[in-house]
Amino acid sequence: MIYFHFGHHLNICGCLNKNRKVDGKKSPAIGNGEMWHLIACEQDRRLRIQKHHLKIEDIITKMQDDKTGGVPIRTVKSFLSKIPSVVTGTDIVQWLMKNLSIEDPVEAIHVGSLIAAQGYVFPISDHVLTVKDDGTFYRFQAPYFWPSNCWEPENTDYAIYLCKRTMQNKARLELADYEAENLARLQRAFARKWEFIFMQAEAQVKIDRKKDKTERKILDSQERAFWDVHRPVPGCVNTTEMDIRKCRRLKNPQKVKKSVYGVTEESQSQSPVHIPSQPIRKTTKEDIRKQITFLNAQIDRHCLKMSKVAESLIAYTEQYVEYDPLITPAEPSNPWVSDDIALWDIEMSKEPSQQRVKRWGFSFDEILKDQVGRDQFLRFLESEFSSENLRFWLAVQDLKKQPLQDVAKRVEEIWQEFLAPGAPSAINLDSHSYEITSQNVKDGGRYTFEDAQEHIYKLMKSDSYARFLRSNAYQDLLLAKKKPESEQGRRTSLEKFTRSVKSPKVHLLGAMCCPGTPKSLPRSSATEKSKAALGQL
């Protein structure tokens, strides 16, 4: 198995120079020990990358050598056209298995895909650089575009390439969806210099038209494969992305990148694909103040370790596990699944179940979501003469659901009831929230009382809700238990016995008071006469 790892070429000579200048001034020099350490690390990294590239290029050279049994390169004839200089995926896989001593075809496909991901081999009709063991046609990349040449193409080069593609009215040169989106972003980013880019693209098109048709077709596909490596399809691995070690080295502000079309940028522009490096400049007092503000905000930021987050999620899951019907079967069962309608009877009853009351204590939002919970909480607030807070919160919630034509009227009603001077149910707001709400009322909308509602919500959550959970009303509902089954059984037996005793008395009294009542008398008439007899007694 062959493993490949490639990085970027980096020229660090300028950034290691003690006398380098930034904005016309000398920057602080680094120590000799650090400088030589960085030089040694960079040289070692570049040597390793060069070795990897040389290994791949040696394989590619052998694959193209007909004298040593390379992959057969041929021109395929199709209907009204020819496809020059192509090989099939099957030929590539078989050659790799034969010459690299690979026994498993899957491993050979994997090695071929790794080589293709670097751009040495590419499919002629697909932007995804992989190798398949079938009749798909592939073409070898020109040595000019090999990664060993340390390409770092600019976004202006990419813009010229895409613009050039749009000028040629050929089906094989049509832009893919992601390329069209990138072109639109680049056109916005380089709006000031787009005329220059367009002129460069026109010049390239004129040069290409002078070439032979077969040569032009091959070069177009090789250029497309080059950009598929450096600007890959979304979702594909970018083999040219920056090495993590590169981020830890000093950056050279005077570095000039190699351009594909001989066009260099004076300054790095905003890119839709790569994030540009910030230009180095002298730090000002304002920058330091912003950094201090940022660091203070980071100190106040609530950060949690992953272990704490996991514990919180586990605790939440365990808390709600009995309310999840997918984990714990519902008791009583769902009436829509079974024939038991006990759940509806419980919902219709005035007294909530113990499980339902227990859920109110999980959070303040739980009690607000439950209609019965809100009613119980409202009764508690009425007993403490602070029900206006909850009524205001509910009124604002209802305001958000009102038709647009009724919003202004409802805003005025809420203002007069809860916030206006001398309001019958005045709520306690801080001066800041009251001032904002007063301004919002002038142009009433659904969210006029948003700040006031948030203030009241926090007030109830921190004060009233906590006292409600400690109140006797909530504790009585929470501790209420069902009566034992034995007691219920005794009560049921007693009721049956009482009914059986009362029944003979009623019939006996009916017979005494109405001796002439025939046996065939309807039951309703007999019952009415029995009730009349009991009334006389």
Query: For 51-55, 418-422, 437-441, which range has the lowest pLDDT when averaged over its residues?
Result: 51-55
Q: How much is the pLDDT for 209? A: 87
Reduced to 3 states, what is the DSSP secondary structure of residue 123? Answer: strand
Tell me: pLDDT of 4 over 50: no
Q: Which amino acid would we find at residue 293?
A: T
| Amino acid in position 354 | Q
Per-residue confidence at 340, pLDDT binned at 50, 70, 90?
A: confident
The pLDDT tens digits for 408-422 are 999 999 999 999 999
* Residue 279 in tokens: 């230009």
Task: Tell me: do 330 and 425 sit in the same domain.
Answer: no
Do 337 and 390 belong to one domain? no
For residue 461, tell me if it sits in a domain.
yes
* C-alpha 504, offset from chain centre: 75
Give CA–CA dist 424/417, Å, rounded. 6
Domain interval for residue 418: 357-479
Supply the CATH number for residue 432's domain. Answer: 1.10.167.10
One DSSP character per residue, 192-246 reads TTHHHHHHHHHHHHHHHHTS-HHHHHHHHHHHHHHHHHHSPPTTS--TTSPPGGG
Same domain assignment for residues 378 and 328:
no
Hey, which residues does 77 pair with through a beta bridge?
82
For residue 139, being part of any structural domain is answered with: no
Coil, helix or strand for 77?
strand
Cis peptide bond upstream of 332, omega within 30: yes
What is the model's pLDDT at position 95? 93
Residue 213, in any domain of the structure: no
| pLDDT at residue 46 in the model | 61
Per-residue pLDDT at 508: 38
Element (H, E) at 86: strand 81-88
In this model, does residue 131 exceed pLDDT 90? yes
- Which secondary structure element, helix H or strand E, spans residue 87, and what is its range? strand 81-88
Burial class (CB in 10 A: 0-12, 13-18, 19+), 446: middle
CA separation, residue 172 to residues 195, 401, 476, 518 (Å): 26, 55, 78, 105
Q: What is the pLDDT of residue 485?
A: 40
Do both 365 and 455 map to the same domain?
yes
Asked if residue 155 is part of any domain, the answer here is: no
Q: 15 pLDDT exceeds 60?
A: no
361 with 475, same domain: the answer is: yes
User: Tokens 């929230």 correspond to what residue?
Assistant: 433
Q: What is the pLDDT of residues 465-514, one digit of tens each?
A: 999 999 998 998 888 644 444 444 444 444 444 444 444 443 433 444 44
Q: What is the pLDDT of residue 491?
A: 43
Mean pLDDT of 224-233: 91
Structure tokens, 298: 């980071």
DSSP structural state of residue 282: -
Per-residue pLDDT at 9 exceeds 60 = no
Specify if 250 maps to a domain. no
The domain boundary residue, chosen from 448, 479, 510 = 479
**Shared-domain flag, residues 379 and 475:** yes
Contact partners, residue 367, CB within 8 Å, separation at least 6: 360, 373, 374, 376, 377, 465, 468
- Same domain, residue pair 375 and 438: yes
pLDDT at 222: 92
Closest CA to 132 of 119, 116, 118: 116
Three-class SS state of 149: helix
**Segments of 53-189 assigned E as strands:** 74-78, 81-88, 121-123, 137-140
pLDDT given at position 20: 42
The last residue of one of the domains, among 315, 349, 383, is 349
Least trusted range by pLDDT, from 253-267, 358-372, 450-464:
253-267
Each residue's pLDDT tens digit, 17-34: 434 443 444 444 445 555
**Is the domain of 401 the same as that of 468?**
yes
Phi, psi dihedral angles at 401 (to 5 degrees): -100, 0
With beta carbons less than 8 A apart as the criterion, state whether 208 and 219 touch: yes
pLDDT digits over 170-224, tens only?
A: 777 888 899 999 999 999 999 999 999 999 999 999 998 888 888 988 999 999 9
**Which strands form 137-140's sheet, in the order they lie side by side?**
74-78, 81-88, 137-140, 121-123
Going by the DSSP 8-state scheme, the letter that residue 517 receives in this structure is: -
Query: pTM (2 decimals)?
Result: 0.42
| Residues 284-294: tens digit of each pLDDT | 888 899 889 98
Residue written as token pair 């950094």: 291
Q: What is residue 121's three-state secondary structure?
A: strand
Same domain, yes or no: 340 and 429 = no
What is residue 24's predicted lDDT score, i.e. its pLDDT?
43
Domain tally, the chain: 3
Residue 139: count of CB within 10 angstroms of its CB: 19
- The model's pLDDT over 56-115, given as tens digits with 9 standing for 90+, comes to 988 999 999 888 888 999 899 877 788 899 999 999 999 999 999 999 999 999 999 999
Mean pLDDT of 353-381: 91
Three-state DSSP at 102 gives coil
- What was the pLDDT predicted at 243? 58
Task: Give domain status of residue 437, yes or no.
Answer: yes
Question: Do residues 471 and 444 both lie within one domain?
Answer: yes
Q: Would 71 be classed as within a structural domain?
A: no
Write out the H or E segment, with its range, that includes residue 22: strand 21-22
In terms of domains, do 459 and 500 share one?
A: no
Residue 214 located in a structural domain: no
Helix or strand run (H / E) with residue 33: helix 32-64
Question: What percent of the chain is predicted at pLDDT more than 70?
Answer: 72
What's the confidence (pLDDT) of residue 479?
83
Verify that 319 and 371 share a domain, yes or no. Answer: no
pLDDT score of 153: 87
Distance between CA atoms of residues 124 and 468, nearest Å:
72
Query: For all residues of the chain together, what is the average pLDDT?
Result: 77
User: Is 80 exceeded by the pLDDT of residue 391?
Assistant: yes
Specify which residues 25 forms β-bridges with: 22
